[in-house]
Amino acid sequence: MIICFGLSQVCSAGTISPDTSDQKYLDYGKKHACVLPIVGTLINETTGDLNQYVGSCVVLDKRIIITAAHIIAPAKTSKIIFGKKQIEVDFALYQKSYKYDGMGDNDLALCALKEDINLDYYPKLYAEDDEIGKVCSISGYGMTGNHRTGVTKNDGKKRAGSNVIKGIANGMLYCSLKDSPTSLEFLVANGDSGGGLFIQQKLAGINSCIMTTDGKLDSNYNDESCHTRISMHKKWIDEQIKKIKERLEKK
């Protein structure tokens, strides 16, 4: 979702290496079939008007998605775009400690859908406590540009690239562009919120925000991406998935 909070920014289809063809990022994005766009309306707290939003999500089961809580919590309506279909979110579950007025280490929402999303593969959750130093893939929808210019446009296309987990702090996995680059170096940007970070094809993080040191939230070399750490919340996620399935079976 495209919103700014001080020196952090909720995350879009991120920035790419200026030395690598954009088509490679688009092609890699297609391999992340479980990452889909989520769109809808939210209420402007100042004016009361309805605004449109665009974010990303990860499909965990045919009727269940996971995304960033800061996308779903303020939304009046939310739909998943799957091919030519728009599938409505039925209901969402959050951790009790999540505060709707900001982000944090529990920036997660599990959502039940009103219709099935049938994929060949649904990602498993990463459960190990060894993320630091791991090569990961990251995917989402939204604004893009290169690492020198920062974000310059929003074409609504899904991209994916790679990075290395730099560290863990406050329940977040961190990535940057300042370390040894991967072959398809990528940093999330405005609109990637709710998309996924994967280690060995398992979901290890949910794109949450961008942190900057230069006051410009444009996903350039001065910025770092933050991803809610899945391994820290796996027990809660497994419990909520069970509850959602039981609730859907009763309908």
pLDDT of 49: 84
Judged against a pLDDT cut of 50, whether residue 4 lies above it is answered with no
Confidence of residue 149 (pLDDT cuts 50, 70, 90): confident
- Are 153 and 61 in a shared domain? no
pLDDT tens for each residue of 174-210: 999 887 789 999 998 888 899 999 999 999 999 998 8
Task: Give yes or no for a contact between 141 and 54, defined as CB atoms under 8 angstroms apart.
Answer: yes
If asked whether residues 107 and 131 sit together in one domain, one would say no
**Residue 192: CB partners within 8 Å, gap ≥ 6?**
11, 12, 13, 14, 55, 56, 138, 139, 140, 141, 142, 207
Across 43-47, 94-98, 144-148, 192-196, least confident range: 43-47
CA pair distance 41, 53, nearest whole angstrom:
6
Task: Indicate whether 27 and 128 sit together in one domain.
Answer: yes
Which of 94-103, 112-121, 126-135, 241-250 shows the lowest per-residue confidence on average (mean pLDDT)?
A: 94-103
136 & 224 share domain = yes
pLDDT at 5 over 50: no
Residues 48 and 66 in one domain: yes
Contact between 64 and 241 under an 8 Å Cβ cutoff? The reply is yes
Give the model's pLDDT for residue 13. 57
Looking at the predicted structure, is the pLDDT value of residue 21 above 80?
Answer: yes
CB atoms inside a 10 Å sphere around CB 127: 12
Q: What is the 3-state secondary structure (H, E, C) of the chain?
A: CCCEECCEEECCCCEECCCCCHHHHHHHHHCCCCEEEEEEEEECCCCCCEEEEEEEEEEEECCEEEECHHHHCCEEEEEEEECCEEEEEEEEECCCCCCCCCCCCCCCEEEEECCCCCCCCCCCECCCCCCCCCEEEEEEEEEEEECCCEEEEEEEEEEEEEEECCEEECCEEEEECCCCCCCCEEECCCCCCCCEEEECCEEEEEEEEEEECCCCCCCCCCEEEEEEEHHHHHHHHHHHHHHHHHHHHCC
* pLDDT of res. 1: 38
Domain co-membership, 27 together with 44: no
Higher pLDDT, 169 or 190: 169
| 137 and 40 share one domain | no
CA distances from 67 to 72, 149, 180, 184 (A): 8, 28, 29, 24
CATH of residue 17's domain is 2.40.10.10
28 and 41, same structural domain? Answer: no
Residues 245 and 213 in one domain: no
Contact 227, 167 (CB under 8 A): no
Same domain, 102 and 208: no
For residue range 74-91, what is the model confidence (pLDDT) as tens digits?
Answer: 899 999 999 999 999 999
- Higher pLDDT residue, 235 or 19? 235
Integer distance in angstroms from the first to the last C-alpha of the chain? 31
Question: How far is it, in rounded angstroms, from Cα 217 to Cα 215?
Answer: 6
| 196/138 same-domain check | yes
Domain count for the chain: 2
Q: Could you tell me if 130 and 82 lie in one domain?
A: no
Range of the structural domain that residue 192 is part of: 4-32+124-231
Question: Considering only 7-21, 56-70, 124-138, 144-158, which range has the smallest mean pLDDT?
Answer: 7-21
Specify the pLDDT at position 64.
Answer: 98
187 neighbors 163 (Cβ within 8 angstroms): yes
Mean pLDDT check: name the lowest of 52-56, 103-107, 196-200, 246-250: 103-107
Angle made by CA atoms 92, 53, 223, in degrees to the nearest 5: 100
- Report pLDDT for 181: 85
How many residues can be counted in the chain? 251
